[in-house]
Every structure is written in structure tokens, then in C-alpha cells.
Structure 1
């Protein structure tokens, strides 16, 4: 099993979607590119099952798929959609966080030819106002992807220390006025606790000005969501564990939507692909002395204009892939 290095010109687009491939629950991002990367896989671990869009395509190709998701509602929808495959034993679904696969019920020794991680929020989660991922008027400040999140967005904003909130906004939203916004949030919550999206939007407008709009709201809401769900720390913990679950020559493909996520993935793939990771001034190599595998994407693959026209949320998607060494070092 050895797929070739992937670039856009080497990806054959999917010209038609078989029945069930694209559902109303979740529109799979970069589907053709993912299929090209995992074309030789027989067993696949979909770490962020969502509504099952990517998994449906894998199953149609005859692959055996294990799907994991921390959202019980997403898991239920995917199981209903893929019930025939589950009954036949070709598909199984596990409730849990991809950063804690053993807790989800996956055996420690189980390995896969392909692993997919599609980070971020699914279309259905984002479109459901009750989930609180959106800045729609009156939406609750929730943002929890699953029941394993310790607190929701409202509790985070109402309890976090001002200095920590400023650091969060600077790190996750690249917000130059993070300190001012953190001060405004803590000042407002003293009068009335934050409860709905309107509360956070009003605080943003008070600091960024009346010309602030959807891009600013989206960026700051995303930062709060990342903190609520411990997304970057979870990804950092998960990367080496997922690498070790690949069969020799297996491929790990990751779609990210945030610069912090993409940076973690890029750096991990670079380190795993290096023959030596000893400190630069160390005279004698004491590390593994050989690369663990090969990065398949020299640059992140992004969605085509045609895909973005159909699914606007694909605009910020960045896909990177890495292949483990054939010898299984």
C-alpha cells in the first residue's frame, strides 16, 4: 500500500456523487482529494465522523470503517444513515473523543491503513441554533461539541480570569485588541452574566467599533469554541497516538480550519519525516536516526473554487497528509 505524493493536479475529481454520499447532515469537505490519498486503504478510522459524509464514500469503495465522534447526536444521525453498512459489519460507530480513543472503546493494538481527522464544526452543528456555535441573535452561548466538555461558552466567559481571557483571544483569534476586549467582557459580566450570542457580539462591537461584522464575530466565536472543547491541546495529544495506529505505509490525512491547528499538523509531519531530530549542536545522533515516514503534501491542499461555491465553509479548509514508513519503524 503506497499512494503517490498528492498535489491538486494528481487528484481526480469525483464527477458525480452516489446516493447517500452527500446528505443534509454534513457536506464532506475535500472529498475527492481525501479519496485519492486513501485510495489503497482497506481499513479506515474516521476520527470525526460527523454526519458520515466522508465515511459514506469510503464504504461505497468497499473499505471497512470505524467512525468516532464525541457528539451523540452526530453519531446517531450517522448510524441511521449508514445502518445497512453497520448491520453487515463493514461499519462500526464509537462515541468518544479522538484524543482519547481507548476511552471510546478502541483496542490499543488496533491499526488502520488510513486515518482521517476533519477538524472544526460540522454543518449541522453550526446550523442548529440550539448548539450555540453561531452568533445568530438569541443563540445560547454553548459551543460544546459533546458531553465530555467540562463547561459551555457562557460559563467560560463568566468565570475566566481577565488575563487568561486576553491570552486566549490573542492566541486563538489573533486579536490585536485582546486585552481591551477581555476587559470589556469582564466589566459587562459583573452587571449581567453572559448568556446568549448577543452578549458577546455587543462586547465585540463595543471594542472593535460599529464597523465590526461577521468576520470579526466568527473569528472570536471560533476562539471561544476552541477553548471550550480543548481543541488544540486535544489535537497535540492525539497526533502521535494516531500516527502509531497506522499500518506500515498507512496514511494520516487531516483537514484543519484554524492556523493553530494547521501549524501543529505541519510541525508534526515535518518532525516525523526528518531522519534526525537531535538538537542542532549535538555532535552524535542519539534519536531514531531514520524518518518515521513521508509527508505527502508539501503545501496544504485547499478547496477548489467550484467546491467553495457549493460549500462556502470549505473556504478555510487546509488538508495535509503523511504516510508511515513501509517498514513500520
Structure 2
């Protein structure tokens, strides 16, 4: 397999799931099937894997990779709908959950998808091609305030106001259609004041907005904890600080019996602890993996266990 398509933190993730051979597992980000393939190696004929992805191209590739296994069900959907979809087929609890968040290397490399600022392609960025909203729609239709908000909050872009100002000027002349057209606007806006590629943060923000990534993540994790059996584990790999912050916050909240404000003398929230945190600090890739797969440098793995 091409190193760029090798699953990040593969060995660490599989080990952290503490897989039991006859149990039920979820891979909520199937991708090319790398993590799923490894999970299935650890299951016997009575164990089962349910794998979700919203990208039909990825599903088609993963199906071929996993075709020798009889104990896997692949479902095309956003993982925010996973609990509902499982209930529809009579699955109400599982014993382990894996989430590998973010855009895949295959999606970035596919020029038609419009995820990359390094290739000149139409601004798209949809993980699910049936989603009507594209990055081009956002750039050309969102208001000044909306664009400034998503660039600042989702991209942590300190030049968001200047970039948006120039986007508004350009789109009055003509529709902004391609990644390189947007690149030129961004470069003109930041005037050399950048350490990495000047478009990196804006493209991240657009991708998050198109796919509602942070909203979906924040909504889904609590639902998943409710269907995770006792001693079952959830392992989540993130690739930027916004995702990691959400995972860390939810894990911390759900590992406590009380989440009342500290100034209250007694607990009135009634909150019950659901998990214990396995990774006090996130697991990161080894030096050797970082050399083999540069994408691994930003990956963080957090793991929790149901109590």
C-alpha cells in the first residue's frame, strides 16, 4: 500500500481497542479499509464489524479490500447517523468504536474533489458528493460576517478580515471557482506573513464548514458512549487542535460524576460518570512513522473505556 494511504497510528489504535474476538466493533471512518482490515484480523466468525463512510469512492475500494471477510457490514452514511442506522438493523450496543477524523489522503490527492490548495481544481471539498453545499458556494454566497467567522473559528486564521475583504472585492468582478484563484486572493491578503502555505487555514475552515465536521463530532461522541458496552473502548484519532479539543472536552466531562460549577456546595446536576480515560495524554506517531507518512505528524489518538 502507498505510504500516504497507510492508516495513521495503526498498531497503537488496534492495541488500544483491546479487541475481543467474539464482540461487535464499529469503524466509523472506513476510508480505504486499513483500520477495518486490521480489526477483522482480530475477530473470529462470531465477532462482527460495522463500518461507515459517506464517500462512495472510498467504500468501493474498501469493499474490494475486505471482500474475503464474511463478518463485516458496510454502511454509506455520515457517522452522525450511525446509532440510528444500527438500531434499524437491530444493533443496540457495541464493544469498541474507532473514529479516524478528517479528510483522507485519497480525497486530498483526487483533483476532482477540490480539497487541496496544491492542485488547481474547482472548489468542492464535499466528503459526501450528494451534499449540495460546496466550498465554491461558501466563497461566493456567504456574507462578510459568515466568512470572517468560519475563517477565524475553524481555521484560526488571524488575517481573516483582510482575506474576506479581498474575497468580496474579487467576487464582485466574477465568481471565484478554483483553488488557485482563491490561493491568489489569500497570498495578496497576507503579504508573506505566514510560516506554512498561506491557504492552509482557509482551506481547513472551508472543509470543516462544507462537511459540518465539528458539529457532527460534538453531537456524535455522546451518542456513541451510550451504546458502548461496559469495558468497551472508544479510540478517536484527530488531526488538528479544534477536533482534539472537542474529544478531550467530552472525555473529561463524561469521566466525572458531577459537572456542576465548583462554587455550588452540593451536586445538583445528577450527571453520572460513563467512562474512564485511558490516555491521560494523547498518543502521537513515532519518529519512524512520521518519516514514512508526513500526515501522521499532526495525528493525536485519545482512548476511553466505558464503565
Asked if TM exceeds 0.5, the reply is yes
Aligned equivalent of 2:15, options 31, 36, 54: 36
Local SS of the residue matching 1:83: coil
Moved more, 148-157 or 312-321: 148-157
Partner of 1:26: 5
Q: Distance between the aligned counterparts of 2:142 and 2:8, measured in 1?
A: 34
Moved more, 302-311 or 129-138: 129-138
> Which runs of 5 or more residues in structure 2 are unaligned?
none
Partner of 1:152: 134
Aligned equivalent of 2:275, options 282, 293, 304: 293
- What do residues 26-68 of structure 1 show as CA deviations (whole Å, max 9, x unaligned)? 3101011111111234321000100000000111122521100
Q: Distance between the aligned counterparts of 1:197 and 1:214, measured in 2?
A: 17
Is contact 2:114–2:123 with CA below 8 Å preserved after alignment? yes
Aligned ranges for residues 210-249 of structure 1 at < 5 Å?
210=192, 212=194, 215-249=197-231
Aligned equivalent of 2:249, options 257, 267, 271: 267
* Aligned CA-pair RMSD: 1.9
Local SS of the residue matching 2:269: coil
Partner of 1:202: 184
Partner of 1:313: 295
- What do residues 67-113 of structure 1 show as CA deviations (whole Å, max 9, x unaligned)? 0001111111111111111xx2x111000000112564553752211
Is it true that 1:323 corresponds to 2:305 in the alignment? yes
Aligned equivalent of 2:35, options 54, 59, 65: 54
Q: Distance between the aligned counterparts of 1:104 and 1:311, measured in 2?
A: 34
Local SS of the residue matching 1:249: strand
Tell me by how many angstroms 1:212 deviates.
Answer: 4.7
How does the TM-score come out when normalised to structure 1?
0.86
Tell me by how many angstroms 1:147 deviates.
Answer: 3.1
Partner of 1:98: 79
How does the TM-score come out when normalised to structure 2?
0.92
Residues 286 and 185 (structure 1), Cα distance of their counterparts in 2 relative to 1, 3 Å cut: same
Q: Distance between the aligned counterparts of 1:24 and 1:36, measured in 2?
A: 21
Residues 190 and 103 (structure 1), Cα distance of their counterparts in 2 relative to 1, 3 Å cut: farther
Is it true that 1:82 corresponds to 2:46 in the alignment? no
Q: Which runs of 4+ in 1 moved over 6 A?
A: none
Tell me by how many angstroms 1:192 deviates.
Answer: 1.2
Is contact 2:32–2:61 with CA below 8 Å preserved after alignment? yes
Aligned ranges for residues 127-146 of structure 1 at < 5 Å?
127-146=109-128
Partner of 1:173: 155
Is contact 1:28–1:54 with CA below 8 Å preserved after alignment? yes
> Which runs of 5 or more residues in structure 1 are unaligned?
1-21
Is contact 2:95–2:231 with CA below 8 Å preserved after alignment? yes
Q: Distance between the aligned counterparts of 2:41 and 2:66, measured in 1?
A: 11
- What do residues 223-269 of structure 1 show as CA deviations (whole Å, max 9, x unaligned)? 11011100001111101111112111111111111211111100000
Q: Distance between the aligned counterparts of 1:316 and 1:165, measured in 2?
A: 25
Q: Distance between the aligned counterparts of 1:295 and 1:205, measured in 2?
A: 42
